[in-house]
Amino acid sequence: MLKLTGFDEEGNPAQFSKFAKFANCANCHRCAKTRRAIRSYSTLPNNSCLPTPSLRLLVRNLYEAYSNTQETLVSTATMSHSVPNLDAIGVKAEPELADTFRREVAQLLGRNNLNFPGAQPVSFSAKHLNELQQEDYYVCEKTDGIRCLMYFARGDPEVKPEIHYLIDRKNEYRFVDGLHFPMPDDDTFQSFHVDTLVDGELVLDTYEDGSQQLKFLVFDCLVLDGSSLMHRTLDKRLAYFKTNILKPYKKMFDTFPEEKQHRPFAVEDKETQFSYGIEMMFRDILPKVKRIHGNDGLIFTCRSTPYRIGTDEHILKWKPPSENTVDFRMRLEFPILEPDTDDEADGISEPYPDYDAIPICHLFVMLNAGEYRHFGELHITPTEWEDLKAMRVPLDDCIVECFKDETSRWRFHRIRDDKMDANHISTVEKVLESIEDRITEDDLIRIAPTIKTAWKKRQATAQSRNGVKRKFEE
């Protein structure tokens, strides 16, 4: 929670917050004077770490560059509605360091795979209406933000013992300065969590008066202080997070409200409801969140199943039928021109692409790593093509999110620069099934009473069993 307002003549930080001891070093991300030091380079070093004015000047320049990216946070996010710019929030770890973190996280999770450690939902289809009646599910709004996990890592105990990284869907790690999560029952707020992993999303709330606030909304907790919670039920995992992390975090800011201005973003739990509270979601919650950070549907998560990394058949993503989308890899094919007399006068004798024309936009889905299947073409108007070019981002071989229009043509929705690859063919098939089934808002509201009746019946049965068990034990 470091607040820097300037530097003295030798490049030392001029102002610190109350908890500066947790953010006082870093020309790198974990400073053990050498290798570990790479773990925190977006914060500033103390004199013992960088003793020479030249090195302090170097880090000052790094910090100023970092500060400049921080200033782009609001404008960048505003242009894309509520989607924050991760590069303006944290500093990306270099490949070797990121690989070290991936191994640490894999070890915490008890797995050998170094891929992105988050769960992924499946698209909602007609069969899931029965699933909601047979199992207990929670529901929350599907936020239009950036999905990230947050890793509470161990730093250098003498310099910066507490460090935090956001893990995006590309499995890249970004160091975020200024975070502190005290332990419960510590009124000094000096102790803190490490070896902890929570799941959530980063959103930028925009209010009616024009003010904005960056938030990290937590919807799951995988590991707490080195102990895996993945085998526990969702309600238990969330209870551990709220009691051990969120409650003392809020207490700290209640005690020191002036520190709020120094945090990179606020941390909150994501509001969830019982699955039968669907009508309230559509009536009360969705209209509110659409105004402040956007929304593109609902997420249903099974209460009783463990956290599953990768595709989880018990996390259901519902979107209005017209908003179901697929992420494709797009490759451009421009028409080929034969050289005319002017070209030949310029020494051009071979056919060449006509980059002034609208290309054929081929759409590909993934079969296996590095293997793709042609799935169709993007229908694009001249105006849409000009808008795409105006974005000034590489278009060939990028990931694009597309929807089907009323004539079943694939249309452009947005570029997914937060994703490394297209959807797998199995995911695409599920999305197409969802589009075909066309489960609407009215369908969900209509079935809510049946879901509630089934939930209450299961609850009564469980309570009866527990009562018999207690009586037997007595």
pLDDT for 68: 46
pLDDT band at 82 (very low <50, low <70, confident <90, very high): low
CA 23 and chain centroid, separation:
24
Quick one: pLDDT at residue 76? Answer: 35
Tens-digit pLDDT profile for residues 346-398: 888 899 999 999 999 999 999 987 899 999 999 999 999 999 999 989 999 99
What pLDDT, in 10s, does the model give residues 243-282? 999 999 999 999 999 999 999 999 999 999 999 999 999 9
Cα–Cα distance between 257 and 261 in angstroms, integer? 8
Q: Which residue would you say has higher pLDDT here, 125 or 159?
A: 125
Q: How confident is the model at residue 467 (pLDDT cuts 50, 70, 90)?
A: low
Residue 169: burial class (beta carbons within 10 Å; 0-12, 13-18, 19+) = middle
Nearest to 216 by CA among 178, 183, 185: 178
In angstroms, how far is CA 300 from the centroid of its own chain? 17
Please state at what angle helix 441-473 crosses helix 127-134, rounded to 10 degrees.
30
Q: Top-level CATH class of 323-437?
A: mainly beta
If you write DSSP's letter for every residue of 95-132 in order, what string do you get? HHHHHHHHHHHHHHHT-S--S---EEEEE--THHHHHH
Residue 54: the pLDDT is: 39
**Catalytically annotated residues:** 142
Supply the pLDDT for residue 305: 97
Please, which pLDDT band fits residue 426 given cuts at 50, 70 and 90?
Answer: very high
Q: Report pLDDT digits (tens) over 129-181.
A: 999 999 999 999 999 899 999 999 998 888 888 999 999 999 999 999 999 99
Indicate the domain borders of the chain.
Answer: 323-437
Q: How far is CA 388 from CA 325, 364, 382, in A?
A: 18, 19, 10
The band of 59, judged by pLDDT with boundaries at 50, 70 and 90, is very low
pLDDT score recorded for residue 413: 93
In the predicted model, is pLDDT for residue 468 greater than 80? no
pLDDT at 441: 95
Average pLDDT, the chain: 84
Of the pLDDT bands very low, low, confident and very high (cuts 50, 70, 90), residue 25 is: very low
Has residue 77 got a pLDDT over 60? no
Residue 78: pLDDT band by 50, 70, 90 thresholds?
A: very low
Average pLDDT score over residue span 212-233? 97
pLDDT band (50, 70, 90) for residue 321 = confident
| Tokens linked to 361 | 């936009």
Q: How confident is the model at residue 81 (pLDDT cuts 50, 70, 90)?
A: low
Kindly report which listed range (33-47, 109-123, 173-187, 279-293) carries the lowest average pLDDT score: 33-47
Which residue type sits at 245? I
Enumerate residues 6+ apart whose C-beta is below 8 A from 314: 135, 301, 302, 305, 308
pLDDT of 225-249, one tens digit each? Answer: 999 999 999 999 999 999 999 999 9
* DSSP 3-state of 265: coil
Radius of gyration of the chain, Cα coordinates, nearest whole angstrom: 25
Contact 405, 379 (CB under 8 A): yes
**1 compared with 249, residue with greater pLDDT:** 249
Choice between 296 and 140, residue whose per-residue pLDDT is larger: 140
